[in-house]
Amino acid sequence: MHDSEIVDNLLTFLTAGHETTALALAWTFDRLGRHPEILRAVQQEIDSTLTDDAPGMEQLDKLELTRNVLRESMRLTPPAPIIIREVKEAFTLDSVTLEKGTRLVVPIYALHRHRALWDAPEVFDPARFLPQEGKDRPQDDRYAYMPFGAGPRVCIGARFAETEALLVLAMTLKELTLTPELRVTPPGKMEITLRPAKPLLMSVKTRQ
């Protein structure tokens, strides 16, 4: 690779990796602060699972509720709310012909809240990510739940991002309780990523 390509790649990793993960965490802290019973259960899970200050993958893998909270939070507020593709060759989909050069928007945010796919889509319910035998769950459908995209250009950092976010959530909530200062969660604002329209002010207290 040329130096310029290396620089471009590093920049992509920083922008694609930092902003998205930071937003996933911000939305999740706000969401948990508004569901104190779920926050308490998450903190209990963390207290009983993390035995030291540098948990490895083995301990993180056991944080089932915390992981499901993160997944459910990314369903309702996906940091990357849309992805865009350009038609390379004209083709017909159903009765619609898409010309070469047409831009297609895949509305991840809308898919994640689609009534035909999800029960009570507006409700924050991490339990929907629990394994359920014999039930077709939308979150198992590759194209119904896709916070990291799908197909050949799926997020290269997905596994890393989930691990990183889980670690930050666990290490923070082990020591601190965050409570939203705003009466309601501000709406999302599309700026390539899905940012809160106002800063998510929170008060921070040390746990007993």
Residue 126: how many CB atoms within 10 A of its CB?
A: 23
Told to check if 194 binds ligand HEM by CB under 6 A, we report no
Q: SS3 string of 44-63?
A: HHHHHHCCCCCCCHHHHCCC
167 vs 179, which CB is nearer to ligand HEM?
Answer: 167
C-alpha Rg value of the chain to the nearest Å:
19
Distance CA 98, CA 91 (A): 5
105 vs 204, which CB is nearer to ligand HEM?
Answer: 105
Residue type at 13?
A: F
Residue number of the CB closest to ligand HEM reads: 157
Give CA separation, 41 vs 36, 55, 61, 66, 174, in Å: 9, 19, 17, 9, 12
12 vs 44, which CB is nearer to ligand HEM?
Answer: 12
Q: Mask 8-47, x = binds ligand HEM (CB under 6 A)?
A: ----xx--xx--xx--x-----------------------
- Shortest spacing between CB 104 and ligand HEM, in angstroms: 11
Would residue 148 show up in a list of annotated catalytic residues for this protein? Answer: yes
Secondary structure class of 175 (helix, strand, coil): helix
Q: Which residues are catalytic?
A: 20, 148, 155
Which residues form the interface with ligand HEM (CB under 6 A)? 12-13, 16-17, 20-21, 24, 79-80, 83, 147-149, 153, 155-157, 160-161
